[in-house]
């Protein structure tokens, strides 16, 4: 553990710290951020809590709130105390800006050092940071954490995949930080270059920023001969470093000394029991630049009940299976692309590269999954290809209880991504 004094403290002490920090942050935003002041005052809420349960009486914050205050309206400190900004990666609409004070950057480095340490990293490691550097939080977030841990940090950023493979080889990289989909592109490129990636010193990957399934993990671990660790975060709350898996690979420990997690029913917005799925909501406890109160992430997860054998006190959230905005409703059944992925990546003969195409026929919406045939699969006859297509279809149907069109496509014909993969292509035009 990087900070055992926090990560393995008693639950009782942790909760006392949370209440104290929550009250400090509530006073601060009430005093300094007009949006929070008017919202608290209008709903007659006193910006103080006696217990953690009282947090449920506070109003929620959503992405549109941050957008409405673009760019600097949510800052809880004078502009001159902000030393860095990042922006969220939203593909549509106004971007949202987040600001960090020097203390925020310092805490973030600690939290990302925790993340690397929980993946087993030490100062002896060589960490290749292939998340994008820039307004996206992945690159610089991982960079500061890796340096804080004392590892040799290679700030290569995303892209230029052949050079990445060269660096993996020449620099003796032991830990790779990038999106899970990009790790597959690296493996594929290494193979094309005639490099046996499994024989390199690479031993672990710290992967996140997009949903990925358990079967995808298995495939990545096999192809790269590494341990793949899931890491989670979002710019509005911090960036990476909000939660990460330990070597148990069973749920992501939420850094609860810095973030209060709630899981709520996305319809009623009432808290759900531990173990039940719902929307993840975070309140920051230490952020100075932009604290957020009950921020609705739109990510779906649940708290995994019980303690983790690793000894960390922080509760675990399950891997994020998807976002409420990415959920497909296919003839009344709710499906996340990652569930389709879980099925596809369990079938021999297809590659872990796929896209879900939304279309329209007349007044009907259509859904078709395009998935690549594995490069070493050969079909002598069309009939075999059709047979395979039928098999994929029926596996999806039996696992998810929806029937979706399936089209097998040529190896390497689906667009590869150097950052977050685009899994859903909406061709409905007016949608």
- By C-beta, is 32 or 323 nearer to ligand DLL? 323
Q: Which residue is nearest to ligand DLL (CB)?
A: 208
- Of the chain, the end-to-end C-alpha distance in Å amounts to 47
The reply on whether position 47 binds ligand DLL by CB under 6 A is no
Segment 131 to 150, residues that bind ligand DLL, using CB under 6 A: 131, 136-138
The reply on whether position 419 binds ligand DLL by CB under 6 A is no
The reply on whether position 234 binds ligand DLL by CB under 6 A is yes
Count the site residues for ligand DLL by CB under 6 A: 23
Contact pattern from residue 237 through residue 276 relative to ligand DLL, giving x for each residue in contact according to CB under 6 A and a dash for the rest: --xx------------------------------------
Residue 283 Cβ, how far from ligand DLL at the closest point, in Å?
Answer: 15
Kindly indicate which of the ranges 16-24, 56-64, 226-234, 262-270 contains the residues binding ligand DLL, using the contact rule CB under 6 A.
226-234
Residue 249 Cβ, how far from ligand DLL at the closest point, in Å?
Answer: 13
The reply on whether position 279 binds ligand DLL by CB under 6 A is no
Kindly indicate which of the ranges 46-54, 148-156, 220-228, 232-240 contains the residues binding ligand DLL, using the contact rule CB under 6 A.
232-240
Segment 155 to 214, residues that bind ligand DLL, using CB under 6 A: 208-211
The reply on whether position 118 binds ligand DLL by CB under 6 A is no
Residue 338 Cβ, how far from ligand DLL at the closest point, in Å?
Answer: 8
CA–CA dist 30, 94 (Å, integer): 25
Residue closest to 295 by CA, chosen among 93, 74, 109: 74
- By C-beta, is 125 or 299 nearer to ligand DLL? 299
Cβ–Cβ under 8 Å, residues 369 and 404: yes
The CA distances from residue 242 to 52, 110, 179, 209, 246, in Å, are 19, 11, 16, 11, 13
Q: 274-289 as b/e, with b when 16 or more CB fall inside 10 Å? A: eeeebbbbbbbbbbbb
CA–CA dist 39, 26 (Å, integer): 12
- By C-beta, is 240 or 352 nearer to ligand DLL? 240
Judging by beta carbons within 10 Å of its beta carbon (0-12, 13-18, 19+), is residue 269 exposed, middle or buried? middle
Half-sphere exposure of 252 (CA within 13 A, CB side): 27
Q: Which of 231, 313, 351, 406 binds ligand DLL (CB under 6 A)?
A: 231
Residue indicated by tokens 């531990």: 274
* C-alpha 213 chain-centroid distance: 12
- By C-beta, is 233 or 352 nearer to ligand DLL? 233
Contact pattern from residue 291 through residue 330 relative to ligand DLL, giving x for each residue in contact according to CB under 6 A and a dash for the rest: ------x-x-------------------xx--x-------
Per DSSP, the residues of 388-420 read HHHHHHHHHHHHHS---EEEEE-TT-SPP-SSS
Q: 184-214 as b/e, with b when 16 or more CB fall inside 10 Å? A: bbbbbbbeeeebebeebebbbbbbbbbbbbe
Residues making contact with ligand DLL (CB under 6 A) = 88-89, 131, 136-138, 208-211, 230-235, 239-240, 297, 299, 319-320, 323
């Amino acid at each position: 553990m990087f900070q055992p004094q926090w990560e393995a403290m008693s639950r009782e002490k942790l909760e006392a710290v949370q209440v104290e920090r929550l009250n400090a942050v509530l006073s601060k935003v009430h005093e300094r951020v007009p949006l929070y002041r008017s919202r608290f005052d209008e709903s007659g809420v006193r910006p103080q809590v006696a217990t953690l349960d009282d947090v449920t009486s506070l109003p929620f914050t959503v992405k549109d709130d941050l957008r409405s205050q673009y760019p600097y309206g949510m800052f809880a400190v004078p502009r001159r105390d902000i030393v860095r900004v990042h922006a969220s990666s939203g593909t549509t609409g106004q971007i949202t800006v987040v600001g960090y004070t020097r203390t925020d950057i310092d805490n973030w480095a600690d939290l990302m050092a925790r993340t690397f340490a929980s993946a087993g990293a030490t100062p002896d490691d060589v960490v290749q940071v292939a998340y994008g550097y820039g307004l996206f939080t992945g690159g610089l977030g991982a960079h500061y954490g890796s340096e804080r841990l004392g590892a040799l940090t290679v700030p290569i950023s995303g892209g230029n995949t052949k050079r990445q493979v060269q660096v993996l080889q020449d620099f003796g990289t032991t830990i790779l930080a990038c999106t899970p989909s990009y790790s597959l592109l690296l493996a594929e490129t290494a193979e094309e270059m005639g490099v046996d990636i499994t024989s390199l010193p690479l031993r672990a990957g710290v992967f996140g920023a997009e949903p990925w399934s358990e079967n995808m993990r298995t495939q990545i671990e096999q192809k790269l001969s590494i341990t793949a660790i899931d890491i989670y975060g979002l710019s509005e709350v911090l960036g990476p470093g909000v939660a990460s898996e330990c070597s148990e690979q069973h749920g992501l420990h939420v850094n609860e000394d810095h973030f209060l997690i709630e899981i709520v029913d996305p319809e009623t917005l009432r808290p759900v029991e531990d173990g039940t799925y719902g929307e993840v909501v975070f309140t920051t406890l230490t952020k100075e630049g932009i604290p957020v109160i009950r921020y609705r992430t739109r990510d779906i997860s649940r708290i995994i009940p019980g303690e983790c054998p690793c000894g960390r006190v922080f509760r675990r959230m399950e891997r994020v299976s998807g976002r409420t905005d990415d959920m497909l409703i296919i003839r009344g059944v709710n499906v996340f692309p990652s569930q389709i992925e879980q099925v596809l990546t369990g079938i021999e003969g297809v590659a872990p590269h796929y896209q879900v195409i939304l279309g329209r026929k007349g007044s009907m919406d259509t859904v078709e999954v395009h998935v690549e045939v594995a490069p070493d699969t050969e079909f002598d006859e069309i009939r075999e290809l059709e047979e395979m297509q039928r098999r994929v279809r029926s596996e999806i149907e039996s696992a998810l209880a929806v029937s979706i069109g399936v089209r097998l496509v040529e190896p390497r014909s689906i667009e590869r991504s150097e950052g977050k993969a685009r899994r859903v292509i909406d061709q409905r035009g007016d949608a």
